[in-house]
Amino acid sequence: MTAARVGPWEIVRPAGKGGMAEVLLVRGLEGRFAGREYALKRLLPALEADGDAVRLFSAEAELSRHLHHPNIVEVVDVGREGNSIYMVMDFVDGRDVGQIIKRCRQRKVQWPVDFAVYLTRALLDALDYAHGATGPTGAPLGVIHCDVSPSNFFVSRTGELKLGDFGVARSLIEGGADQVMGKPYYLSPEALDGHLSTHVDLWAVAVTLYELLTLQRPFQGKTPEAVFEATRSLRYVPVRELRPDVPVVIDELLTRAFSREQAARFQSAADFAQALSPLYDERVGTPLAISAVVRGLFGASD
């Protein structure tokens, strides 16, 4: 029996499915990819005739193939099979940070502060690169991820930390800056008003750090509108009220990151990362240590 394939990729098994696309675990059949496993993402068949869905997916593929950084899921191939566009990317064998936070809540264990800071620093390194990325001609791409959240940041079994899913990313160079997409809990006040800049991503990083430390989101509500109101009014519980062992300096850092005025916040991912660097013990917060704890949380077969 001939194995199912997509272009030069053999399908191993389904690996996931979302509202717009499915992900397959595939194995390379040719060239330098032969025998190696990757994740193949393609539009769901029902959306192959949807012009908007095709344009969005094509834009993700075009943008992602220019991004090459250790903390970003790398796209290694983009192709077409019949009416379906697909992209092939790193397969991160592990868990996303959203799953980790959920498991910590279930087990009533706190995620270590050093690990939270280290993960956030790696996420900021990925964004610092993406925000400054250039295309083949050297011209800036003007990338803004627009959907930074724990569910889009991955920890592999071997300690790799990677930001993925540039599906709603925007390029300021190409326009389209007035349409902001993303998960309600992670949108900044100005994003809610349709203003797009790299501050959108930095705000989402701060929300992610808060969530790693407290296992809950800072801005809450039973409806998206209630979440938006809490975000606009900056109504949240300071970290140390929920977790007193968090150093005061981290609470102060988050207060700055959630400032009402953009000018009072961190002005770049690099600035944010530099402020975090002294706040974790690099002998404790390491990728391998984090991956070991993740394996402990989920078990060998879970």
Which residues form the catalytic set?
A: 147
Maximum alpha-carbon separation in the chain: 63
Per-residue burial over 18-42, b = 16 or more CB atoms within 10 Å of its CB, e = otherwise: eebbbbbbbbbeeeebeeebbbbbb
Find the helix or strand (DSSP H, E) in which 107 lies: helix 97-107
Q: Where are the beta strands (DSSP E) in 82-198?
A: 84-89, 94-96, 143-144, 153-156, 161-163, 170-171
Alpha carbons 196 and 171: distance in angstroms, whole number = 10
Q: What are the C-alpha distances in Å from 263 to residues 34, 186, 190, 205, 283?
A: 50, 19, 12, 17, 34
> Within its chain, how far is the Cα of 210 from the centroid?
15
3-class SS at 17? strand
160, HSE (Cβ side, Cα atoms, 13 Å): 18
Which token pair is 42? 């393609």
